[in-house]
Every structure is written in structure tokens, then in C-alpha cells.
Amino acid sequence: MAKIDLIELYYASADLPAPFSPAWVPGSSRMKTGFYLIRIATEDGVEGWSGFSASGKERAGIGDGIADAFLGTDPTDIDMVHERIKILANGGMRHWWIEPAFWDIKAKLAGLPVYKLLGGTDDKIRLYASSGEVRGIEARREEAEARYSEGFDTFKIRVHDWDEAVDIAQIQDIAEHMKGRMKIAVDCNQAFRMTLHGDAPIWDLARAKRFADAAAESDLLWVEEPLYMEWYDDMAELAAYSRVTIAGGELHTSGYPELRHMALKGCYNMFQPDAMWSGGIKQVMQVGELCRELGLGFSPHSWGNGLGFLINAHCMAASGFAGENPFEYPYCPPGWTVEARDAILSHPSIHDNGWFHMPQEPGLGIEIDHKALEKQGVCFFRAKGKERHWMPEKLVGTAVRREVAQEVV
Ligand SMILES: [Mg+2]
């Protein structure tokens, strides 16, 4: 088996066409989307890619640890990958996002798309349009109408006003407005708060129950993350109480061990792990298997960049749940467009009337637009054999980039 011989890390960013105010970072507005990319390659040149959302340059120093952990290893040994990611996590970061790059190689060597390597047979998966912003009632109606006209039959909105009556009014209005045309889900983003730019309410069990009652009366499809992510007892009480599906699980970075505990305890009726955050493809698939055993719903989370969408789509297509639950399509124009989300991919993951056709080429189907990457990104770490190069962005000019590209391509 050819060993891992090359590791590169990139930082890239892309302009958004309009400001985007993510519901999960109250008070913030951004004009750019950031990416980290990892490229690994075997001695005989088989490449694996993955990528993660970047806040800034917070991962600039991770190259040496990743190189120490993975150069010279067998890329198809996913158990080894998991063990070493956990070792690295003791240094403060859980790099689950690099694990799919190993699956990319493993599936390329097998000559199969990842979802087929995992036993999946769903060549296309039904999507739901996932809005990313808190909006007012009129703007929400317009947004729902736009998504409906594009072919989506399910739409997920965001609420978390200080006044719970505002939240309830919005779900009642949109459910009534789209009645018979679209199913509505709602994400409360209560599992964690990023209060760097502004505060937001944190719901208690009583408010979550009142909201779940209103959601059930409006026939919503699910209520996502209505409580803080560690309040396991309250979550279990709510899930047992609620007449509407209670969903969540995207940010449990301990992965399967924690999500298994939560599933057995009954914290959610539907689990939404994300391979990039909560245990890589391997543990997300374990969560899916457990959900099947326990009679729970399953649909991975995919908000982030276009690589996260593709990677989690493979988990969905492999899980056997694609015919039961729709899969998240992160899409919130005018700020969060498909073109910006997938800025460094050669082919944006465009939906087809609310469906996604799974890539059929071996691996994850991540095809990097190298011209876009050169223009919008920088390779900040490269390790090949015994050589290591750490390249802070300000020191990396076109000549260095060209040198790296020539050596690698
Ligand atoms: Mg969510």
C-alpha cells in the first residue's frame, strides 16, 4: 500500500456578493467566506482533499502536528486516522475535517464514489433549502416563495428573537403562507452561542416546550437545537414531550461516543451530525446506523463551505435515510450564494429542482479550481518526505506559489 508522502494546507477566501448575517453569530455581518483546505497525496500520486470553514488564520500553525501524525501512514487505515486525530485533539483542536481526505483516497483506490464504498445506493438525494439568517416575516415569505419556485419542497428557517412571541408568530405565518406547498423546519441555534458581536437569548426548557407546542400546531417538520448542547436531561425531557421532531447534533465534537450517549438517552428524535465537526465520515455513519437501530431520524448537517456539503452528502447517500429525510442545502441569497459557497470548486454543487445528483467519479468528487485557489488562496504549509515548509501568507509571493505548484502537479 502506497503511503502518505505529501501534505499541504491552504487558506483561501472568497467574496460574498452581498452581506451575510449568520443566525448562529448574532450581531455579525460578513462579506467574505473563508476556507482551510488539506491536500494529501500518496507516493504514487493519489490525492485526497478536504476543507473546513475558516474564521481567520487560526489554523496557521497546525501543519507540523498533522505532518508528524500522517506522513508515511497508510491512507486507507481510517481507524488509525481517527486515533491520531484524537491524539492531535489533546493539543486543542479536533481536526475531524481532515478525515474525509483519507476517504477520498481510499475510495479512489477502490474506484468508487465514497457513498458507494460505504454501501450506499441512493444516486440522488432530496434536499431542503436551508436559510442562514434571521429575517422578518415579509422577507421570509419572499425567501420561501423564491425557494419554492426553484423546486424545493422543504425550507428551514431560523428564529431566536428576544421576544418568543416574535419567533412563534414567524413560524405560524410562514407555515400558513406556504401551506400545501412547502414543509417548514426551524433552527433555533440554541445549542451554542457565539456572542462575539452581539448577545442572543438562551432558551430554557419551559420556553423550548412552548415553542415546540407552537411548532406542532403549525405542523412543522422539525425543531432544531432548541436547547443548549450539554443540557442532556432537558433535551431528553423535551424530545419525549414534543409532538414535533426535535433535531440536532452538528457540533458535538466528541463525535460518536457523545452522540451515542445522547441517542440512547433520547436527547433528539433526529440526529444531524456533521463529518467536519462531529467525528469524520466514519463516526457520522456510526450515528446513522445507531439511529436506524433506535428508530430515530438522521440527516447530516452541512452548513459551511461547498466541501462540507459534498462530504456530508456522501454520508446521507450512504446512510439509507435519503428517502426518509431531506438533506441540508446551505443557500441564503443574496449573501450566501452557491457560487460563493463553492468558490474554489470547479463545479458548484447546483441542485436540480431540489435534488442533488451524487458525484459518480471515484472519491468524494471534489474537483478543485486551481486557478481560483491560486488567486484566492495561499499554501501555508507543505510537507514532503523529510522536508517541512511553513509559509506565512505575508511571506508567500507568486514565485513561491508557482514553485509549489510545479513541484506538486
Ligand atoms: Mg443547525
Distance 273 CA to ligand 1 centre (A): 10
Q: What is the mean pLDDT of each run of 10 residues along the chain (409 residues)?
A: 94 95 92 95 97 88 94 97 94 93 98 98 98 97 98 97 96 98 97 85 96 98 98 98 98 96 98 97 98 98 95 98 97 96 95 98 96 90 89 51 47
**Same domain as 347, residue 308:** yes
CATH number at residue 192: 3.20.20.120
Stated pTM of the model: 0.94
For residue 334, whether the previous peptide bond is cis, meaning omega lies within 30 degrees of 0, is yes
Distance 330 CA to ligand 1 centre (A): 11
User: β-strands 183-187, 154-158: how paired?
Assistant: parallel
**Same domain as 60, residue 27:** yes
CATH number at residue 395: 3.30.390.10
**Same domain as 290, residue 193:** yes
Distance 403 CA to ligand 1 centre (A): 41
Distance 277 CA to ligand 1 centre (A): 12
**Same domain as 174, residue 137:** yes
**Same domain as 277, residue 188:** yes
DSSP-derived secondary structure for 45-80: --EEEEEEEESSSTTTT-HHHHHHHHTTS-TT-HHH
pLDDT for position 49:
98
Residues 9-37: tens digit of each pLDDT: 999 999 999 999 999 999 999 999 999 99
For residue 214, give Cα distances in angstroms to 173, 197, 231, 245, 321.
Answer: 11, 30, 22, 12, 27
Distance 103 CA to ligand 1 centre (A): 25
Query: Could you report how far apart the first and last alpha carbons of the chain are, in Å?
Result: 22
Q: How far apart are CA 392 and CA 263, in angstroms?
A: 43
Distance 375 CA to ligand 1 centre (A): 31
**Same domain as 395, residue 294:** no
Distance 224 CA to ligand 1 centre (A): 6
The answer to whether residues 389 and 20 touch, using CB atoms and an 8 Å cutoff, is: no
260 lies in which domain range? 116-357
Distance 191 CA to ligand 1 centre (A): 9
**Same domain as 285, residue 187:** yes
Residues 330-377: tens digit of each pLDDT: 999 999 999 999 999 999 999 999 999 999 999 999 999 999 998 888
Helix (H) or strand (E) holding 174: helix 164-177
**Same domain as 253, residue 140:** yes
The answer to whether residues 284 and 275 touch, using CB atoms and an 8 Å cutoff, is: yes
**Same domain as 135, residue 54:** no
**Same domain as 383, residue 342:** no
The answer to whether residues 190 and 19 touch, using CB atoms and an 8 Å cutoff, is: no
**Same domain as 346, residue 240:** yes
Show the cell assigned to 241.
414531550
Show the cell assigned to 120.
450506499
Number of domains, the chain: 2
**Same domain as 127, residue 107:** no
Distance 158 CA to ligand 1 centre (A): 9
